[in-house]
Chains A and B, each alone.
Chain A
Amino acid sequence: MPESEEQDILLSASQGNLEAFGVLYEKYVERIFNYVYYRTGNVHDAEDLTARVFYRALHHIHTYTDRGVPFSAWLYRIAHNLVANWHRDRSRHQEIPLSDAPTIHYKGEPPEVALMQTQERDALLRLIRQLPSERQHLLILKFLEHMSNAEIGKTMGRSEGAVKSLYHRTLLALRDELEDSDLEELTQQPDTSRLD
């Protein structure tokens, strides 16, 4: 969708046009769902919070003003606040039930490798969720949305340089955490040649 078209849709939605808001919903629902999912680690809560993000956005869209920041940043801010409240409401961090985790297919890979990857994925995700929320946000935007540092800066309200620095510090922190945990051993790539 071209930017000018989105501006028109946004204007229409902010004037109470539900159809226009529906277009925005269709465009952003997956992104917000992914963001919330990676922040909560739970599909059910991700669905609940994603729905609440859009209801809240619908309720406040008339107050939205374009300040040169992407509309997604506005939605992410709502999502960020709701996720923060969600974490606050929970006395302890919720683990991802395996049955709840979405199935990721590793086509053409032996089951041993697939199992190893699932374990690595879960362990690494647990480490990511232990990071401060701002760093989690940054990683999600970087790896899920494939945004540049400049785009992330616009979304997070930081300068490009600050994002670059935060990203580097995040990777260093994760690397240290990995070295301290047993995950490093677990994630050593298995010798797949023996499995052929």
Chain B
Amino acid sequence: MNTKMKQFADASMEKITSLEKRLSGVIRPIKPRKEFVHGVAHRIQAGTQSALVDRITNWHLIAILMAGLISLLVFLAVMGRVLLSLQGKKRIA
């Protein structure tokens, strides 16, 4: 019985080894086309422009946020002033 099991295990192991051999023959490195590789490399280098656009977009966003904050502060100051002035009028009355 043990010999049979050993034979089975050996045969199985042999198949696995043979499969590994076949896989290494099938999965081989492939060279991509040069035009493709250079094309993408070129577009990556041209990314300078888009990076600059990104930076400008970021700068615009910051400017808009700053303007919004200043507007909010001015609005709060005006409201505060209105409330103070209404309170003053009440006291006089």
Chain A residues near B (Cβ < 8 Å): 16, 18-19, 21-22, 25-26, 29-30, 33-34, 37-38, 46-47, 50-51, 54-55, 58, 102, 104, 117, 120-121, 124-125, 128, 139-140, 143-144, 171-172, 174-175, 178, 187
Contacts and interface: CB of A to CB of B under 8 A. Distances in A.
B24 A47 contact: no
A112 to B, nearest CB: 17
Contacts, number: 79
Contacts of A29: 32, 37, 40
In the A-B complex, list the 5 residue pairs whose CB atoms are closest, starting with the nearest: A143-B27, A33-B32, A51-B40, A102-B30, A121-B26
Contacts of A55: 43-44
A124 B36 contact: no
B40 A144 contact: no
Nearest to B33: A47
Given A171-B16, A175-B16, A187-B22, A34 B29 contact: yes
A139 B27 contact: yes
Nearest to A183: B22
Interface string B43-79: 1110110010000000000000000000000000000
A37 B29 CA distance: 10
A19 B22 CA distance: 40
B28 interface: yes
B40 A125 contact: no
Given A30-B32, A102-B30, A16 B51 contact: yes
B20 A124 contact: no
Given A25-B40, A30-B29, A58-B44, 14 more contacts: A18-B45, A19-B45, A21-B44, A25-B41, A30-B31, A34-B29, A47-B36, A54-B40, A120-B26, A121-B25, A128-B27, A143-B23, A175-B15, A175-B19
B19 A143 contact: no
Given A18-B51, A22-B45, A25-B40, A171 B19 contact: yes
Contacts of A128: 23, 26-27
Nearest to B23: A143
Nearest to B24: A143
Contact of A38 (B25, B27, B48): B27
A30 B36 CA distance: 11
